[in-house]
A and B are shown apart, each in its own frame.
Chain A
Amino acid sequence: MLAFSEKTEAQFQELVARYPEDQRQAALLPTLWLAQEEWGWLSPETMRYVAQRIGVTPAHVLGVATFYTMFLTEKPGEHLLEVCTSVSCCMTGGRETLRSLCDKLGIEPGQTTPDGKFTVRAAECLGSCDTSPMMQVDNDAYVENLNEEKLVALISELSDKPWGTRTKLASFTAAGDRRL
């Protein structure tokens, strides 16, 4: 039987308290996030656990989890690289960047490298059109103004980081892409 770690459980209790007592279901998305961060993806077992913690049917959780693209109901590689290909990025080389990234990793968009290290997907607009082409790493950090050098450096930097390492991508934030 699954259970949240102590730390996650505390976060869960904190977030459930944000919503009215009779509206516990409102905590579903944040709880799925907690679960995904804890276990890497949303396996059926995980979804069942979340359903039970929130008090909804497993089917409801399935519907919600598969509706939102950031919830991973199939096991991804250790690092998820999502290259934006929507309008602005499309105009400034997003697709070429996606192609280049895939070529470097020897896979097609939507696939995971055979060593299980990287999954690459195309993403719809990530809201960083001024820094296009860009990508999101592990549902978290943005890597922006992408070029060939950055792609190479990124792959190299991530290769050493196992899953679950918070992607504080020093080399890119230091470059002044984002102040956060």
Chain B
Amino acid sequence: MAFQKVVSRHFDVPNAHDIAVYESLGGYQAARKALAMEPGAIIEEVKTSGLRGRGGAGFPAGMKWSFIPKDSPKPKYLVVNSDESEPGTFKDRKLIECDPHSLIEGVIISCFAFGSHQAYIYIRGEFNQQRIHLNDAIQQAYDKGYLGDNVFGTGYTIHLSTHRGAGAYICGEETALLESLEGKKGQPRLKPPFPATHGLFQSPTVVNNVETIATVPWIIANGGAAYAAMGTEKAKGTRLMSVSGHINKPGVYEIEMGMPFKDFLAENLGGVWKGRTLKAVIPGGSSCPILTAEEAMNLTLDPEAIAAIGSMAGSGGMMVIDDQTCMVDLLEDLTHFYAHESCGQCTPCREGTDWLYKIIRRIESGRGTAQDLDDILDIADNMEGKTICALAAAATMPTRSYIKKFRDEFVAHFEHRGCPYKQAKVPAGAGA
């Protein structure tokens, strides 16, 4: 099937955030249809679509729902992860701004599918205007009777509210998010148990990304097979890409899984800015190992292809880097981010992220030695896979890749006793 926009289909429609406009585009028909279906059939349809989580981990959505125990006496919760904080990622923000009702409609269908009556949208604290905007849309849905105690007159109850975070990247990790939603520090939980049985308030819980949930109405309206007909063999459908950095047209783009990067760059992104040359690409958010220009230009944008060259599709946060960028400087900025965002719970991450940052800062400032690179790799080894969540690895994986693929730039810093690019006038994260 030819590519068509799914989750971004209303992005260019003026005022699609208004329920009247949304309904005039066929909005809430999928939810009506779903509430007349067997819940199990909805899950099957989503399984058929091959829809995978769009938050970064890529877990099949339908399968996640089917893990929810049917016989649990506890309430079941849907929690929408709108903590979008991975550097380079801003698609969910755009989605909430342009098409909040597709998210709300997705919530209704998903709740009904696995028997939930209460959903929360955990939205990062910085997205305050988006939260207010989303609250307005939720109120419209309540006013219409699409949310509340008698959804579409079926007698089914679904309550939905937003929950504002307050500035912590780690809350994007689903169990940290649940902790935060419970009024605690956002520190990831030990697993097992998993959220499917012991999630929010120790009850069965599904945590899904905004884009994932917002895709569901289209799947119900058009059928899982129609969605699965797009994309590649293993990566079905479409996805949103947030693209930023040194390109002419930064923004959010929906692409078919498997689109060649070369085409994406030329056709959608308007090429590298200022007529410069491509140096590197971060394919899916700052924690993904970096790709050289050559690797990127031969790449198709689907998780399997990206994994095959040692990186990740992640959250679709693509950053394009031009040839005048100092990779050490960029890595310094990136490691500062992870040091700042480590929750501080596990020893290797708490201590290791800041240690990496300080070493890379030293290299960037011209005081590094070749030994530093060996040390970094060894420290990274002591961090990866040794912690409760993946934040440590999110810092080490890109770090390794920068050193591996741009080692000569690090060496240049040792030799020049400073940064050959002389761009950074302010250290990363000063005053943060």
Write the residues of chain A forming the contact surface with B, with a CB cutoff of 8 angstroms.
18, 20, 23, 25-30, 32-33, 54, 56, 60, 63-64, 67-71, 85-88, 90-92, 95-96, 98-99, 108-111, 120-132, 136, 139-142, 178-180
Indicate if B431 sits at the interface (CB-CB under 8 A).
yes
Structural contact, A127 and B93, CB atoms closer than 8 A: yes
Look across to chain B and name the residue whose beta carbon is closest to the beta carbon of A97.
Answer: B426
With both beta carbons as reference points, the residue of chain A lying nearest to B89 in the complex is identified as A127
**Could you say which of A32, A122, A142 contacts B432, with CB atoms under 8 Å apart?**
A122
Q: Does B44 contact A (CB under 8 A)?
A: no
Question: Which residues of chain A are within 8 angstroms of B246 by Cβ–Cβ distance?
Answer: 91-92
Across the interface, which residues of B come within 8 angstroms of A88, CB to CB?
87-88, 244-245, 319
The verdict on B186 contacting chain A, using a C-beta distance below 8 Å, is yes
Which of B57-65, B108-116, B161-169, B374-382 contacts the other chain? B161-169
Pairs of residues from A and B, 10 with the lowest C-beta to C-beta distance, nearest first: A109-B431, A28-B183, A110-B431, A129-B244, A68-B166, A70-B167, A69-B167, A130-B250, A25-B183, A125-B87
Residues from chain A with Cβ under 8 Å of B242 in the complex:
129-130
Q: Does B190 contact A (CB under 8 A)?
A: no
A60 to B130, CA, bound (A): 29
- Chain B, interface size: which category? 35 or more
Contact in complex: A85, B330 (CB < 8 Å): no
Q: Is B321 an interface residue (CB 8 A)?
A: yes
A26 to B330, CA, bound (A): 38
- Chain A residues with CB under 8 Å of B201's CB are 20, 23, 26
A98 and B88 contact, CB distance less than 8 A: no
Q: Taking beta carbons and an 8 Å cutoff, which residues of B are in contact with A?
A: 75, 84-90, 93, 97-98, 120, 124-130, 132-133, 159, 161, 163-169, 180-186, 201, 242-246, 250-252, 282, 286, 317, 319, 321, 325, 329-330, 333-334, 337, 340-341, 343, 424-432
Q: Are B245 and A91 in contact, CB atoms less than 8 angstroms apart?
A: yes
Please report the number of residue pairs spanning A and B whose Cβ atoms sit closer than 8 angstroms: 192
Which of chain A's residues has its CB closest to B250's CB?
Answer: A130
CB distance from B251 to the nearest CB of A (A): 5
Contact of A23 with B182 in the complex, beta carbons under 8 Å: yes
Contact among A54, A68, A131 with B125 in the assembled complex (CB-CB below 8 Å)? A68
Q: What are the residues of chain A within 8 A of B317 when measuring CB–CB?
A: 129
Q: Name the CB-closest residue of B to A24.
A: B183
Minimum Cβ distance to chain B for residue A11 (Å)? 12
A-side contacts of B430, CB under 8 Å: 85, 95, 98, 108-110, 122
Q: Which residue of A lies closest to B91 (CB)?
A: A127
Given A96-B425, A122-B430, the answer on whether A178 and B97 have CB atoms closer than 8 Å is yes
Contact A124 B163 (CB under 8 A): no
Q: Which residue of A lies closest to B321 (CB)?
A: A91
Residues of chain A contacted by B128 (CB below 8 angstroms):
139-140
The distance from the CB of B127 to the nearest CB of chain A, in whole angstroms, is 7
A86 touches B164 (CB 8 A): no
Cross-chain contact of A25 among B132, B182, B425, B432 (Cβ < 8 A): B182
Task: Show 25 A/B contacts (Cβ-Cβ < 8 Å), sorted by A.
Answer: A20-B75, A25-B182, A28-B184, A29-B166, A30-B164, A56-B183, A60-B184, A64-B183, A68-B166, A69-B432, A85-B432, A86-B87, A86-B286, A86-B333, A87-B319, A88-B319, A90-B329, A91-B245, A95-B424, A121-B432, A122-B432, A127-B85, A129-B87, A129-B89, A140-B128
**Are B333 and A85 touching (Cβ within 8 A)?**
yes
B126 touches A70 (CB 8 A): yes
* Inter-chain contact B426/A129, CB cutoff 8 Å: no
Partner of A128, one of B93, B169, B184, B282: B93
CB of A95, distance to nearest CB on chain B (Å): 4
Give the Cβ gap from A129 to chain B, nearest Cβ, in Å: 3
15 further A-B contacts with Cβ under 8 Å, apart from A95-B424, A180-B132, are A27-B183, A29-B183, A69-B166, A87-B282, A88-B87, A90-B330, A92-B244, A92-B245, A95-B425, A123-B126, A125-B169, A126-B126, A139-B128, A178-B129, A180-B130
